[in-house]
Amino acid sequence: MLERASTCLETGRRQLFRATKRCLRSRRRLHSSFWHHGASNLNLPIWWASSTISDHANGDVENLERTKTAATARYHDGPFLEFLYPEKTLALIRRLSTYGSDSVVVRRRQMNGSRIRQFSTSRWQPTEDEAVADSEALQAKEEMEELLLTTSADNALQHLLSTEQRGKQELAWQLYLAIPERSRSTELQNDLLEYLAVQDRSKAAGRALRVFDAVLREQRRASSYRIAISAYVALKMVGPAIQLYEEAAAHPGIDTLRVGIDSVLQRTVQDDQWDLSLRIFRTFLNQAARLKIPVRTWNRRQYRKNFATVWGKVSQLPDLVDHWQSLLDHVRQFQHELKSTDKNREALSLFVVGLVPEVMNQVIHVPNPDEDLIWDFFIQLFRDLRSLELPTTPLYEYIIPAILDTPRYRHYTNQRKIVLELYRDYQQQSLQNSGQRPSRYLISRLIVQHGEKDSMIRVDDMVKDLRTFHPTDPFTPQSLSYLIRCHAKHGDIDHVHEYFNELLSRYRQCVDLKILSSLPYAYARRVDVPGAMQQFNRIKEEFGLVPDIACWNALLLAYTRAEDLDGALECFNNCLESGMQPDLYTFGPMLDLCAERGDIEAFEALYSRAKQLNVPVETDRRARSGYVQAFLNADDPEGAEAIAHGMLQSWRSGTLQGNSLTHTWNILVSYYAVLGDLANSRRIYKQMIDYKIPLDSWTYSGLMRALVESKQTNAAYKILRTTMPMNNVRVHAFHYALVISGFIHEHQYDHARRAYKRMEEREVPQTESSRQASLLAIGVTELEELRKGKDKDPRARLVAVEEKLRESILADYGSERAHDQPSHKRYIDFPELSNIPQGYFALVIMLYTTRGAYDICKQLFEAAMNAKSGSENYEAPIALLTAIMDAHLKAKEYDEVEKCWELARTEAGKLVKTFQQAMHPQPPTPEFDSITDPAIWEAFQASRTAVSRRQILWRATRIYIRSLLAQQDQKCLQRAQRTIRNLLTHGFIVDNLTWNEFIQHLALRGRIIDAFSACEMYLMPRFPGWAQLNPYYIRHDRPGYFWMELRHYDVKRTSVLPRYKTLVVLGAAYAQIKRDEQNGLGYNADMGGWTREVLEQIAPLTIRAIETMPRTGDALQERYLQDA
- pLDDT per position as a tens digit, 231-290: 888 888 888 888 888 888 888 877 777 788 888 999 999 999 999 999 999 988 888 888
| CA-closest candidate to residue 856, choices 899, 887, 834 | 887
What is the chain's length?
1124
The residues pairing with 1044 across neighbouring beta strands, listed in sequence order, are 1026
For residues 425 and 403, give the distance between their C-alpha atoms in angstroms, rounded to a whole number: 15
Distances in whole angstroms, Cα of residue 550 to Cα of each of 546, 593, 624, 817: 11, 19, 21, 22
pLDDT at 201: 60
pLDDT at 890: 84
- What 3-state DSSP class applies to 1084? strand
For residues 971 and 124, give the distance between their C-alpha atoms in angstroms, rounded to a whole number: 120
pLDDT at 329: 94
pLDDT at 289: 85
Q: Which residues of the chain, if any, have pLDDT below 70?
A: 1-85, 87-88, 90-91, 94-134, 198-203, 812-814, 823-839, 865-876, 917-929, 1123-1124
Q: What are phi and psi of 620, to 5 degrees?
A: -95, 125
Q: Cβ distance 354 to 307 under 8 Å?
A: yes
For residues 952 and 833, give the distance between their C-alpha atoms in angstroms, rounded to a whole number: 8
**CB neighbour burial string for 119-139, b if at least 16 within 10 angstroms, e if fewer:** eeeeeeeeeeeeeebeebeee
pLDDT at 90: 67
Q: What are phi and psi of 472, to 5 degrees?
A: -80, -35
pLDDT at 236: 86
For residues 209 and 531, give the distance between their C-alpha atoms in angstroms, rounded to a whole number: 78
Q: Cβ distance 249 to 284 under 8 Å?
A: yes
pLDDT at 200: 59
The pTM score is 0.77
pLDDT at 832: 41
pLDDT at 41: 46
- Long-range contacts, stretch 300-305, CB < 8 angstroms, 24+ apart: 300/394, 301/397, 301/398, 301/401, 301/439, 301/441, 304/357, 304/398
Is residue 985 within a helix (H) or strand (E), and if so which, with residue range? helix 970-985
For residues 858 and 1074, give the distance between their C-alpha atoms in angstroms, rounded to a whole number: 49
| CA-closest candidate to residue 252, choices 299, 204, 287 | 287
Q: Which residues contact 1090 (CB under 8 A, 6 or more apart)?
A: 1077, 1082, 1083, 1084
The residues pairing with 749 across neighbouring beta strands, listed in sequence order, are none
For residues 499 and 342, give the distance between their C-alpha atoms in angstroms, rounded to a whole number: 45
236 phi-psi bin (left φ>0, alpha ψ -120 to 50, beta other): left
